[in-house]
Chain A
Amino acid sequence: MTDQRRLRVTEVRSLCPEIRQITLEPLEGTALMGFQPGSHLILHAGEHRNAYSLTGDGIMPSRYTVSVLKRNDDGGSAWLHQHLAPGSEITAEGPVSMFAPVHNQQHALLVAGGIGITPVLSHASALAALQKSAEVIYAYKPHRAAHVDQLREICHSAGFRLTEVTSAGNCRKALRDRMSDQPVGSHAYVCGPMSMLESFLEIGAAAGWPEYRLHLERFEAPELDPGEEFALRVSGSPEDLRVPVGVSILETLESAGYSVPNMCRQGVCGQCQISVRSAGSLEHRDYVLTEEEKAAGGSLMVCVSRGTDVEVAL
């Protein structure tokens, strides 16, 4: 679990229709913690606890900035749009780092689609501050080009190059073109809609990128198969639980009265990780654990993953 703290909103700025930039500062004199590029804050937005990427470079920040796309009328993003104004206070957790740059990379290819620009901007700013090199592809709808001016300015730095595209077809073309033309030792990072992540993986594989050089940040996860019913035991508890079709281990544990930390409930945030004592089999369906960790079977993201005859330790 990460620490909670109150922050003060000092500015709310509309970047384009539906996207607002929120600036947060500490309540009194205390310093803000620095963060790795690609980190996010967890904001308590009414009933919701949502993740929002920090857009700054993370080096000795005096304020945090996030940009929130309003998704619908009753979610957490809508709450943030409605309730925050300069002077408001908000509860935040983090920064949490799950999309960090690889320490020894020679060069970075950064790909952003739509609101996925937020963590990419953070990576680009940090690389520019450290005088490293990077290439950026930004795909956006013309009326929703959040942060494009800032990005253009960063990409004027020596060793930077920017490609802007405004349609899915052009985005695939840019990916094919640029992914086959990067220096040795590069790592590639993407954040954007699901279809873009798929293209990135597919084109990257075809261009010969090994998996460990491709890094994805997911704001949301695809619909999952409902799975089969299976038995679940909590170490130290006598009763056996059943996890029904279409219901997660997390929901099963919650209905049985256990409390398990969680947030995204879609296998992307990493909060609901639990130790596995034993299992007949495990079906990992999250995007958090590495292949190696999944194979070792020591833990499970209980919001999405399933198995058979699973015993967990809480």
Chain B
Amino acid sequence: MTKFSERAQGFPWPFAEGETDFRYSVNVEPARVRRTTATGGWGEHLVDLGGSDYTQLMQQRREVIAAHPERRRVLPGMEMACWDLLLYYLRDMAAAYPESMHLGEEGKNFHWRNDLLGTDQAFTFGQEESLPTDPLTFLASEIPDDLVLLTERDGELFFDAGLVTFAASWSVSFNVGMSMTEIHGPVPRMTAEGMTRRAEIFMRQLQPGQAYRRLNWSTSKHRGERLDTSLETYREWESEIPQLVEEEDWGSLQLRNELQHFVRLPMTGTVAFAIRTYILPLAEIREIPEWRDQLASILRELPEDLATYKGFGDFREEIVDYLAQPADSMG
């Protein structure tokens, strides 16, 4: 028995042991390596199904896809890259979760079964009519990650396809076709400090089939369980944080963490960028002494421009104070 919730146990804590201040860096490392944390661990597999919430998460994802077809954008010429992505991920999942995921292969004919979701689908590689949807939508309905594909043109990487339902206040329709430099324009310091360039060099040097990962954190732009905080639904969530601030309900503010994977797809050389989103309310973090103290110290120290960009510039002191109060004194 453990005292931590399932989502706290699997939460990929974004800070290294002993880290007390935070700056952006090209913080990439090889994927598929398990890390242990104060509550449990994460990172063994490329795709994290999560725990008992997997089916519910995929339900949420499928609803967003059905209601918002504009969350999927595929520029012309990216069809083969989408198949490359589908096959890479299905093979990976069948190897990672042999008890529930199965991929039969015979030449270009495949049979995918996902026992957890009840998917049972035969298809022929490269033939869209053999799947109920296009390959990108098919994959996005099986895994909780948002998916972006980048191709190289004249030495730069461009966002040429994606299916994104849980974006942190950005949008596929807005970013599709953009270069890495254009996409990262709003991020303070990033391009000016040469990080965009280094990130790009890193991605261009990935070898076929290689997978790397990085973590990215911020505070969430909403209060509830929903993960869909895309720009498209801005109207639906814009008032949630102002209201939380008014009620001084700091325990409901959520740390929003993205586990991002980078894979060089073997047949097309496309770079796949997959984003798995996790949220954990400060109320839960406050129960975990190592995390509470570290987060308080990092939030306190973070320069103003980064705090504003990450979303807590206006109430930084309040949340630091909240984390500093022992949970039991609050009753």
A and B: interacting chains: yes
A36 touching B125 by the CB < 8 A rule? no
The verdict on A35 contacting chain B, using a C-beta distance below 8 Å, is yes
In the complex, the answer to whether A36 meets B269 with C-beta atoms within 8 Å is yes
Min Cβ gap B3→A in Å is 40
Contact A97–B269 (Cβ < 8 Å):
yes
A143 at the binding interface (Cβ < 8 Å): no
Q: Is the CB of B207 within 8 A of A60?
A: no
Query: In the complex, A292 Cα to B198 Cα: how many Å?
Result: 12
Residues of B within 8 A of A21 (CB): none
Q: Is the CB of B208 within 8 A of A60?
A: no
| A290, B154: Cα distance in complex, Å | 11
Q: Is the Cβ of B201 less than 8 Å from the Cβ of A97?
A: no
Partner of B208, one of A96, A273, A292: A96
Known A103-B151, A104-B77, A130-B80; judge A96-B266 contact (CB<8 A): no
A293 lies within 8 A of B201 (CB): yes
Residue on B with the closest CB to A3? B209
Q: Which of B105, B108, B267 contacts A36 (CB 8 A)?
A: B267
Q: Is A204 an interface residue (CB 8 A)?
A: no
Q: Give the contacting residue for A100; candidates B87, B105, B198, B269; CB below 8 A.
A: B269
Q: Does B34 contact A (CB under 8 A)?
A: no
The interface bits of chain B over 260-282 (1 if a CB of A lies within 8 angstroms of the residue's CB, else 0) are 00000011110000000000000
Shortest CB distance B207–A (Å): 6
Q: List residues of B (199-221) whose CB comes within 8 Å of A's CBs.
A: 201, 205, 207-209
Whether, in the assembled complex, A298 has its beta carbon less than 8 Å from a beta carbon of chain B, the answer is: yes
The A273-303 residues at the B interface (CB cut-off 8 A) are 273, 290, 292-293, 296, 298
Determine if A31 is an interface residue (Cβ-Cβ < 8 Å). yes
Is B23 in contact with chain A by the CB < 8 A criterion? no
CB distance from A296 to the nearest CB of B (A): 7
Interface centre among B91, B107, B197, B267 (most CB of A within 10 A): B267
The answer to whether B151 and A31 have CB atoms under 8 Å apart is no
On whether the beta carbons of A97 and B207 are closer than 8 Å, the reply is yes
Residues of B within 8 A of A97 (CB): 207-208, 269
Give A68 to B269 CA distance when docked, in angstroms: 25
Interface residues on A, range: 20 to 34
1/0 per residue, CB under 8 A from A, across B57-85: the answer is: 00000000000000000000100100010
CB distance from A103 to the nearest CB of B (A): 5
Question: By DSSP majority rule, is chain A's interface helix, strand, loop, or mixed?
Answer: loop
User: Is the Cβ of B267 less than 8 Å from the Cβ of A298?
Assistant: no
Task: List residues of B (67-116) whose CB comes within 8 Å of A's CBs.
Answer: 77, 80, 84, 87, 91, 105, 107-108
Q: Are A31 and B80 in contact (CB under 8 A)?
A: no
Give the docked Cα–Cα distance between A52 and B207 (Å): 16
A109 CA / B207 CA spacing, docked (Å): 25
Q: Which of B149-165 contact A (CB under 8 A)?
A: 151-155
B200: min CB distance to chain A, Å: 10
Given contacts A103-B153, A290-B155, contact A33 B108 (CB under 8 A): no
Residue from A39, A60, A94, A96 having most chain B Cβ neighbours under 10 A: A60
Q: Are A59 and B267 in contact (CB under 8 A)?
A: yes
Binary contact track A252-292/B, C-beta < 8 Å → 1, others 0? 00000000000000000000010000000000000000101
Nearest neighbor of A104 in chain B, beta-carbon distance: B153
Known contacts A59-B267, A293-B201: A95-B155 contact under CB 8 Å: no
Task: Check if A193 is an interface residue, CB within 8 A of chain B.
Answer: no
Q: Within 8 Å CB of A31, what residues of B?
A: 91, 105
Q: Which of A96, A290, A296 contacts B207 (CB 8 A)?
A: A96
Tell me the complex Cα distance, A62–B125, Å. Answer: 14
CA distance A291 to B158 in the complex (A): 20
A104-B153 Cα distance, complex, nearest whole Å: 7
Q: By the criterion CB–CB under 8 Å, are A296 and B77 in contact? A: no
Q: Which residues of B contact A33 (CB under 8 A)?
A: 208-209, 266
Residues of chain B with a CB closer than 8 A to A298's CB = 198, 201
Question: How distant is A60 from chain B, measured CB to nearest CB, in Å?
Answer: 6
Residues on the B chain within 8 Å of A94, using CB: 208
Tell whether A114 is near chain B: CB-to-CB under 8 Å: no
Q: Does B208 contact A296, Cβ atoms closer than 8 Å?
A: no
B77 touches A34 (CB 8 A): no
Kindly state the separation between the CA atoms of A62 and B105 in the bound complex, as whole angstroms: 11
Pick 15 A–B contacts, CB within 8 A, sort by A: A33-B209, A36-B267, A60-B107, A60-B108, A60-B267, A94-B208, A95-B266, A97-B207, A103-B268, A104-B77, A130-B80, A212-B154, A273-B205, A290-B155, A298-B198
Question: With A36-B208, A103-B151 given, can you name 12 additional A-B contacts, CB distance below 8 Å?
Answer: A34-B84, A36-B269, A59-B126, A59-B267, A60-B125, A94-B208, A96-B208, A97-B207, A102-B153, A104-B77, A212-B154, A212-B155
> Across chains A and B, which 7 residue pairs bring their CB atoms closest together, nearest first?
A34-B267, A103-B151, A36-B269, A34-B266, A33-B266, A100-B269, A97-B208
